Chain A
Amino acid sequence: MTLDEIKEKIRGLHLGDAKQLDAIFTTEKRLLIEAPAGYGKTKTMVSKIAYMLASGSIPYPKRLLALTFSVNAAMKIKKDVTHQIPLILEGVKTDYTISEKILVSNYHGFARRLLKRSGYKLHPALINIDELKIIDDSKATYLLSNVNGLSYTSASILEKFNEEVKKINGTYIQNNLAAYNQVLINDFLSRGLLTYNGILTLAAKLLTDFEVVREFYRRLYTTVLVDEFQDTNVLSYLLLYYLIGANTQVILMGDDLQRIYGFIGAVPNLLTKAATQFGLTKISLDQNYRFKDNKQMLSLDQNIRRNAEQPRDPQITENATVDFNSYPDHATESAAIVDKCKYLISTDPDSHVAILVKQRGPNVVTIMGTFQAAGVPYFYGLFSDEDPKYVEFNRECLYEFFEQIKLKDQVTKKLLAAITVKLKAKYDITDPLYSSLFQLLAILFEKVFTDFSYLSNQEKKDLLIETLEGNGLKQYVEFINATVILTTVHGSKGLEWPYVILPDMEEQSFPNYYGLCGGCPYNNTCNLTVTDANEHKYLEELSVFYVAVTRARKQVYFTSSNTAINYKGEVVNRNISCLLKIKGIQILSSS
């Protein structure tokens, strides 16, 4: 098949989508592809890679490095790429699938690989990086009691660094990277310990200190593609910065508006910053395929984006009507949510409904109580990435995995079952949190032998280590078999369900006091005007709102209460959330 025929084939696959085709066929070597959820990002990425391979701008798959934030996302891309590219390139270059695989990895996975190969230059223990125990470095006190002989100064260096990473303090990171690494090299590695951030910082050190290593990787990967680029944190960005040489082709894909991970260090306005730093040409995909037959959702998606583009004067062509119901109080609202779930499931029995709350609190307790009273089972997913119990559970799983894999270096069902047994002895499985975590663990373990059965033993090990080390159990909430899933908006990042209910769409809830409501001059009516003073926070909230809305594959529903009990225990009136009052949204009661 000739290149023209391939082009024709790709044109057929992306029929009529000028932006997608532009992104695929452009000869620009540095590209930023802005791609909201449902706009055909994955499909565009697959065709783009296929076309680059066919046209020789990636001479063979090995020269491409594809990176993303989480191991779960990396595995999804790997699957798409390895299955679909050969279909597009059928008959062009032979044997793409078997002989040469594209390296798709998450930042930590890639950094770990790098350290495994050349890290011995920094410290011999890094050759066996898989055997190092990852220690949480967010609290100096914890470090002091868990790392033998660690000085208070060293512990403080780590704690402070961890904090500044979360605060995205680039200058601090730059200035203290060396000191942080020195503590790891002096006090951690010889004790068989490492930190999660340390995987990235040591990899960055390797790339900075050893020109040979840096040059090798720049020559090895002549094209670097990053998916979900908006979730790149300040340390991953550093890694990326060193991997991109003067001649590296760069494709960054993502959506600034889906960035809600500010609190774990994702860089704000990252896409714009990267575009300037790497000299990227921006192409924005502009057709929403997910909602092409759902005019209401389509215009909701579009209008939120318009508000984000020009917060003070969004260009709205047509209002989006949203399904919104408000109730006198939380008890009534909760009952309505349960009814709505029952209704949705009765009309669409194979479906799932996700209830996404902004935060935990008395409102959520009411909702859970109502579900229990109604005898409707639900999955408890109310834990954040930072929740100490959640983090600790991931760690325990990881340690148990290491214990077992030391005995026999083969990821088997038997081995994973043994891990589960050990863990169940340690935790109270009647606690809804642990019950949920065990369900997630079971899904992860099952997927190793179903979705990921094609992986080699080493890759399976990597998958499990990366997932647990990155506190990634939560990513499997998507596969939970329960029909109703109760989780937080932040926890829903990267996941999708057919139906989404967003409860508590009222002031002091979504947004909350820390978001926008604290000291808001518009709190009488909640008819917000975007000004210099509130624009930044407003955009943050709008991002979270956008992510929440776009978790729905079919439909999103909103509810609120007119009253709430405040921190003093008094019943107070509540306005409808300002987010439902932005231009282009027209609320319409369904009941």
Chain B
Amino acid sequence: MQVKKLTIRNYRNLDGQEVQFADTCNFIVGENNLGKSNILNLLQVLFSNRGFRDTDFTDLNNPIEIILQISLADIEIGHFEDLFDVDDYHLINIKCLQENDSDNVNFSHLETGTYIQPAIVRCTNYIYYDSLRNPVSEINFDKGKGAGRFLSSLLAGHIEEKSLKSEDFIKDAPMKALLADVNQKLEKLKAFNDFSFKASSEGDLLSLLSRIVVLKNDKGEPLANSGYGVQFLLLITLSILERIHAIKLQRKDKGIFEDETDHKKSISLIIGLDEPEIHLHPYMQRSLIKYLNKIIANQNSDFQQLIKQLFDIDRFNGQIIIATHSPNILLNDYRQVIRLYPANGTRIKSGSQVTLLDKEAKRLHMHFPYIKEAFFSRCVIFVEGDSEESSFPDFAGKMGIDLDELGISVIQSRGGEVAAIKLLIELAQKFDIPATGIGDRDNQPAVAQPLYLTLKKDFEEELVSLIDAGKEGFLENIVKEFEGDNVTVQTGQLNKYAFKAYSVAAVPYTADLKLADIPKSDIINLKAFYLSWFAGNKSYPLGKLIGEKIDVADIPAIYKTVINQAVTFAAI
């Protein structure tokens, strides 16, 4: 089963919100305090708890009412008896109502009001993993709690299968000798004597084994010595197994669906993860998500074999829902993104409710790795190249604006020129992300705001026009700092840029130009030199250097306009 949609009334800060989910994997993104974890918590209450607590009510005088839309795989049809959505038999709409904090959640079929047992709803099998769990306390073979219950069941299964007894593990004579020796000493302690406490051998085999079987890595180090990341990775799969184990124990065959043609058995599984990135480095983050996706999609044969062997289950029908702050963790599908953003409280936009034109979808797909960050922003400035991307944060800084603080990101379009920027702005707007952008004028026709064009041909020409303002010295400093004192531009470069691209020279160059040799009054050659040099050297570091060195007064006006536009957008 999969959660398709939540329509929320009176729950925490999400009153009046609707969240749509993608089929297999979902990333809930957004700034802090917008309610990302609340969505996961909400599912936890609906699928695992008895009801909402007082703090869950936006207004304690009103009921919490959630419309939960669930989609069922073919094989799961009928799980809710003969209740379904008359417009799509794979769907069911469940009204989840809780009158007040002392009540429980009541489930009913939205269209007909038919009561639905909570146990039936729980067969969705939601596993919620928040980063507050302490793996070390769970991951051991003691009967204990959580994942430990599963590990312990592995021991118990083997003991039962082989009919093992304590004697199979403990030699009687040495143990007796050991106990005799210890007790002979303990006897001398009054309290031990008074209350007749003695060292004795553990009679219960499972308890015994839970103390002699431990988890260690190949260097012999116990789990507690590993980083939290490793512990987290171990716990997350054990949690899934533990849950299936518990389900089998409590519900027996209920919620296990058998296909009548191939007799494969499947079970529903929805995994909710809250900020899994906290303890994992970026590579690990994606690796974990891909692994879980494979498990849910029944593509990890090892895991499949294991659940078949342990629980006689062949497949999952499920979904993953992740709340995250990390652009790194997003996989490359915009439909999986559920974006929370501030706008008089929280607003929510789901990728699965966004429809894109073909060209938009293509561009988004191609650029997704680079523009993921946009989903976490309050506003995006799309630019053409490295120079702008690297210089804008400093430009803004000089203008007294902290882009990070305002949640403004600068993302380059990576090819496609102005048309690409226009498309990206439109794309961002479809996700309710306000965006502006600036492209190179080149020979472009006019554009409409919030898209802007440079006043000059491009970033380089904007910069070089400082010469006209008598600020050639700034350019010289940049060139010298970036390349050294003896800077020359080759003939080929001069012809490529100054003669052809920018047309500052009337005739082609036949010789190189050395900065030191150009008289400060020779504006043509100065411009030819700088345009060729900046164009030839444009790069992230150069842009960064420009941004750091430039005076606020010298920042090209058009860039100031764009940055101010972004600030206005971010403030809305």
Interface residues of A (CB under 8 A from B): 56-60, 62-63, 93-95, 99-100, 113-114, 116-118, 120-121, 127, 210, 212-213, 215-217, 219-220, 222
Contact assessment for B263 and A56 in the assembled complex, using a CB-CB cutoff below 8 Å: yes
B105 at interface (Cβ–Cβ under 8 A)? Answer: no
Contact flag A217-B82 (CB < 8 Å), given A59-B260, A116-B112: yes
Q: CA separation between A222 and B261, bound complex, in Å?
A: 11
User: Which residues of B from 213 to 268 have beta carbons under 8 Å from A?
Assistant: 251-254, 257-260, 263
CB contacts (< 8 Å) of B253 on chain A: these are: 60, 93-95, 99
B77 within 8 A of A: yes
Write the chain A residue with the least CB distance to B248.
A94
Does B203 sit at the interface, judged by CB under 8 A?
no
11 CB contacts below 8 A, A to B, read A60-B253, A62-B81, A99-B251, A113-B82, A117-B82, A117-B83, A118-B84, A127-B112, A127-B113, A213-B86, A219-B77
Contact of A62 among B78, B84, B87, B88 (CB under 8 A): B78
The answer to the question of B89 belonging to the interface, with a C-beta cut-off of 8 Å to chain A, is: yes
How far apart are B462's CB and chain A's nearest CB, in angstroms?
Answer: 60
Cβ B82 vs Cβ A58 within 8 A: no
B131 in contact (CB, < 8 A):
no
Partner of B254, one of A95, A116, A219: A95
Interface string of B169-189 (1 = CB under 8 A from A): 000000000000000000000
A99 touches B89 (CB 8 A): no
Determine if B254 and A100 form an interchain contact, defined as CB atoms under 8 angstroms apart. Answer: yes
Interface string of B63-98 (1 = CB under 8 A from A): 000000000001001100111101111000000000
B89 to A57, Cβ gap below 8 A? Answer: no
**B77 and A60 form a contact (CB under 8 A):** no
Encoded as 1 (CB less than 8 Å from any A CB) or 0, chain B from 138 to 153 comes to 0000000000000000
**Are A212 and B86 within 8 A (Cβ)?**
yes
User: Which of B82, B112, B251, B254 sits near A220, CB closer than 8 Å?
Assistant: B82
Cβ A63 vs Cβ B83 within 8 A: no
Residues of chain A contacted by B77 (CB below 8 angstroms): 216, 219-220
Q: Using known A-B contacts A59-B260, A220-B77, determine if residue A114 contacts B86 with beta carbons closer than 8 Å.
A: no
B82 in contact with A114 (CB, 8 Å): yes
CB-based contact B112/A212 at 8 Å? no
The answer to whether B481 has its CB under 8 Å from any CB of chain A is no
Partner of B89, one of A59, A60, A116, A216: A216
Chain B contact residues: over half helix, strand or loop, or mixed?
A: loop
Given A94-B252, A213-B89, 14 extra CB contacts under 8 A: A62-B78, A63-B78, A95-B254, A100-B254, A113-B82, A117-B82, A117-B111, A118-B86, A118-B111, A212-B88, A216-B82, A219-B78, A220-B78, A222-B260
Is B33 part of the binding interface, using a Cβ–Cβ cutoff of 8 Å?
A: no
User: Is the pair A95, B86 in contact by a Cβ cutoff of 8 Å?
Assistant: no
Residue in A59, A93, A216 whose CB lies within 8 Å of B84: A216
- Residue B111 contacts which of A58, A120, A217, A222 (CB distance < 8 angstroms)? A120
Q: Is the CB of B260 within 8 A of A58?
A: yes
Tell me which residues across on chain B come within 8 A of A118, comparing CB atoms: 84, 86, 111
Q: Is B114 an interface residue (CB 8 A)?
A: yes
List of B residues within 8 angstroms of A219 by Cβ: 74, 77-78, 89
**Alpha-carbon separation in the docked complex, A210 to B86 (Å):** 8
| A residues less than 8 Å from B109 (CB atoms) | 117
Nearest 3 CB-CB pairings of A with B: A216-B89, A59-B258, A94-B252
Q: Which residues of A contact B258 (CB under 8 A)?
A: 56, 59-60
Question: Per-residue 0/1 for B110-125: is the Cβ within 8 Å of any A Cβ (1 yes, 0 no)?
Answer: 0111100000000000
Contacts of B257 in A (CB 8 A): 59-60
Residues of B within 8 A of A116 (CB): 112, 114
- Chain B residue contacts of A121, Cβ below 8 A: 86
Once bound together, how far apart are the Cα atoms of A567 and B87, in whole Å? Answer: 63
Q: Contact at A99–B260, with CB atoms within 8 Å? A: no
Instruction: Give the chain A neighbours of B263 by CB distance below 8 A.
Output: 56, 59
Give Cα distance in the complex from A217 to B86, angstroms: 11
Most chain B beta-carbon neighbours within 10 Å: one of A59, A63, A127, A213: A59
Mask of B544-572 contacts with A, CB within 8 angstroms, 1/0: 00000000000000000000000000000
Closest Cβ–Cβ distance, residue A564 to chain B (whole Å)? 56
Please state if A99 and B112 are interface contacts (CB–CB under 8 Å): no
- List the A side residues contacting B252 at CB < 8 Å: 94-95, 99
Q: Which residues of B contact A220 (CB under 8 A)?
A: 77-78, 82
